[in-house]
Amino acid sequence: MNIHGVNDVMPTELHTSEPLVLEPRAFEVELASEKLKSHKSPGIDQIPNELIKAVCRIICSEILKLIISVCNKEKIAEEWKESSIVPNYKNI
């Protein structure tokens, strides 16, 4: 392997006519909501998974608009960056 001249390599930009990641579709949002686990503590938004699962078909289009907006802006709300990781040890 020749490692000489590695510093001479310039990064190139990738130009395509199609987006690299396709926009999510409504059925994907519904599938994701169905996979949510029940009887778990709600997050910082205090919305339990059971509620999301129960009303998903009604609010699916609004959730999809929100996801697409975040993808297009490539920026998420500061509140979404907050999280708490708490270890939960199981006795076997």
Which residue's structure tokens are 């802006």? Answer: 73
Please give the single-letter amino acid code of residue 88.
N
29-60 tens-digit pLDDT: 898 888 889 998 888 788 899 998 999 889 88
Residue spans of the domains in the chain: they are 23-74
Residues 71, 67: Cα–Cα separation, whole Å: 6
Confidence class for position 65, pLDDT limits 50, 70, 90: very high
Contact, 23 vs 68, CB < 8 A?
A: yes
Q: CA of 68: how far to CAs of 14, 23, 25, 78, in Å?
A: 22, 7, 9, 17
Global model pTM greater than 0.75: no
Residue 50 confidence (pLDDT): 93
